[in-house]
Amino acid sequence: MGLFDDDAPDAPPPGPGLFGDEPDAGAPAAAAYRVLARKYRPLSFNDLIGQEALVRTLRNAFAMRRIAHAFMLTGVRGVGKTTTARILARALNCTGPDGQGGPTPDPCGVCENCRAILADRHPDVVEMDAASNTGVDDVREIIEATRFKPLAARVKVFIIDEVHMLSKAAFNALLKTLEEPPPHIKFVLATTEIRKVPVTVLSRCQRFDLRRVPADTLAAHFAAVAAQERVAIAPGALAQIARAADGSVRDGLSLLDQAIARGAEDGGEITAPMVAEMLGLADRGIVFDLMDAVAQGDIQAALRISDDSYARGADPGILLADLLGLAHLLTRMKSVPSLAQSPALPEMERTRGKTLADMLSIPFLGRLWQMLLKGLQEVEAAPDRRAGAEMILIRLCHVADLPPPGDLVKKLTESQGALTGPPAGSPGGGARAVVNGGAVAQAALPRALTFQDVVALAQARRDVMLYAHLRQSVHLVRFAPPVIEMRLAADPRVPRDLTGRLAALLEAETGRRWTIVLSHLPGEPTIDEAEGVARARAEDEALAHPLVQAILAQFPGARLEAPAPPAEEPEMPADWAALTPPDDSYEGEEE
């Protein structure tokens, strides 16, 4: 790491300045400041942090001379895609200090090719930003350039950044060259949206996924950068910057640059409160205090903490997001107790976090998570973010002391003495027996055939059309096997051969002829109509039940939902065998 020699600022031009004043010949030229993200850009594979799998694979490829003709680098912003592409360009074209070297995973950095590529002035390394060059004409220029051999380098390298921004026509124009480029051409494509790249392009490239850099790795890297910059910064401040970077090295270095500028006015150590104020974050201890207040249902304490955070510049939405992250951490600690001793966690998470995790339950944390997720959306949509966040905190405190729905149902059931089983004569009731010390078993009672059994037979035989019309279009007038009298609904979608198909199905099942009679009598409602009426009646009865009314009163806005019907196949009733005639019943009858 260090400054690039080729990036030295140019000397000021002679003559008067922009505003007419003569430059002071004795004054030294002010060196242009380079941000940390550029100053500490990795120069070799060894400098890449958090990408061990990528580095190991590329090193092996160079060692075995199995270097692909096209690379696809993908990952979030700031993890090193373009930097890796430039390192690849130098590795492919490095000639060594003596000018006799070949491709190497450790470019020397002193040969002419390395220096020119570092300074972005090599004629054979072409970078194209696909975000601003999306058309097919831009790609045709690259294709035309592939016809010519390199001017000074070993191979020509084309780096296309944000390649997913290319148009469909541009991708199609690139396909053939990308699949079979000349031996002196290499492509390195980079994107943050790998799903937007056509699979025809992906199949022609060797893909590398650059991972988000872990927060502890970022914090260690930023500490090393701060040491080289001779800046004193607290470990807590580095941890906050690493968390805010969200796995991006470049974003983290930009935040570190900003923190150094923020701390310059004090002249001392850059502290965590300084960084929190800069980022608009709430202090970590405040987030724990807020969780305590919410868990205890203390609305006054929660609003006081919110007011103090807002006065210090913390964004209300970020405060809720921090509370959401703490809920996730506590849930993990509750599920994996050994996490409380992990050295990767800061001291406050290990101490106060363990105390909270022991105190709170999984149902409470799960409910808190769901309400905060919805609350963050409400804050973003609210005209006043502060008011929206306060309303969410009041709601969280209000439901903090409510028991889980399961416990509430049990409590209400016990208090009202509700029965847990269906009464005799109700649907689902019937002969029951207690076996195995309390297990309840339903007796199998014999019964006569019904029209519902005919419908179930059509479903079991996978006759979807017949099954649907038997449920929706048939009004049963009389059912006396082997005679069925019915009225068909006046629906043009009902097939003309419905009665014939039904008779054939029943004859195949029972071995005897059935008579299907069409009638003009009204008949019974269709099965679907009857089930709809029964469902509405059951819902009304359930809503009128005192237990349900008590639950709805405890949870305003809740609604009653019927359980999904079972997906099991209907069983064939045993009574079908009674309709089957003996083998000699049709003897003597003509075919």
Residues linked to residue 515 through DSSP beta bridges, in sequence order: 483
> For residue range 115-141, what is the model confidence (pLDDT) as tens digits?
999 888 899 999 988 888 888 888 888
Burial profile 147-160: b = 16 or more Cβ within 10 angstroms, e = fewer: eeebeebbbbbbbb
Tokens coding 452:
């519902």
The DSSP line for 386-438 is HHHHHHHHHHHHHTTTPPPHHHHHHHHHHHHT--SSPPTTSTT-S-EEEETTT
Rounded distance, CA 87 to CA 45, Å?
Answer: 7
- Number of Cβ within 10 Å of residue 223's Cβ equals 14
Residue with tokens 């049963």: 476
Q: At what angle do helices 316-335 and 385-398 cross, to 10 degrees?
A: 30
Rounded distance, CA 69 to CA 80, Å?
Answer: 20
- Please state the three-class secondary structure of 519-545 as a single string: CCCCCCCCHHHHHHHHHHHHHHHHHHC
Q: Between the CA atoms of 387, 390, 395 and 400, what dihedral angle is there, to the nearest 10 degrees?
A: 180
> For residue range 571-587, what is the model confidence (pLDDT) as tens digits?
545 466 666 665 544 44
Amino acid letter, 93:
N
Which of 161, 185, 150 lies closest to 84 in space, CA to CA? Answer: 161
Please give the model's pTM, rounded to 2 decimal places: 0.57
- For residue 521, pLDDT beyond 80: yes
Average pLDDT for residues 490-504, to the nearest whole number? 88
Beta strands in 456-590 (DSSP E): 474-480, 483-488, 515-518
Whole-number pLDDT of residue 482: 87
Rounded distance, CA 174 to CA 70, Å?
Answer: 12
Whole-number pLDDT of residue 374: 92
> For residue range 28-64, what is the model confidence (pLDDT) as tens digits?
444 578 889 888 899 889 889 889 999 999 999 999 9
> For residue range 250-291, what is the model confidence (pLDDT) as tens digits?
999 999 998 888 876 666 788 888 887 787 666 678 888 899
**How big is the chain, counted in residues?**
591
The DSSP line for 198-253 is -HHHHTTSEEEEPPPPPHHHHHHHHHHHHHHTT--B-HHHHHHHHHHHTT-HHHHH
361-370, 428-437, 547-556: which has the highest mean pLDDT? Answer: 361-370
Alpha carbons within 13 A on the beta-carbon side of 111: 23
Amino acid letter, 332:
R
Rounded distance, CA 258 to CA 251, Å?
Answer: 11
Average pLDDT score, the chain:
80
214 CB burial (10 A radius; 0-12, 13-18, 19+): middle
**Which residues have a Cβ under 8 Å from the Cβ of 315 and sit 6 or more positions away?**
280, 385
| Cβ atoms of residues 580 and 512 within 8 Å | yes
Taken in order of first residue, the domains within the chain and their CATH numbers are 37-209 (3.40.50.300), 215-278 (1.10.8.60), 287-398 (1.20.272.10), 448-560+571-576 (3.30.300)
Rounded distance, CA 321 to CA 571, Å?
Answer: 52
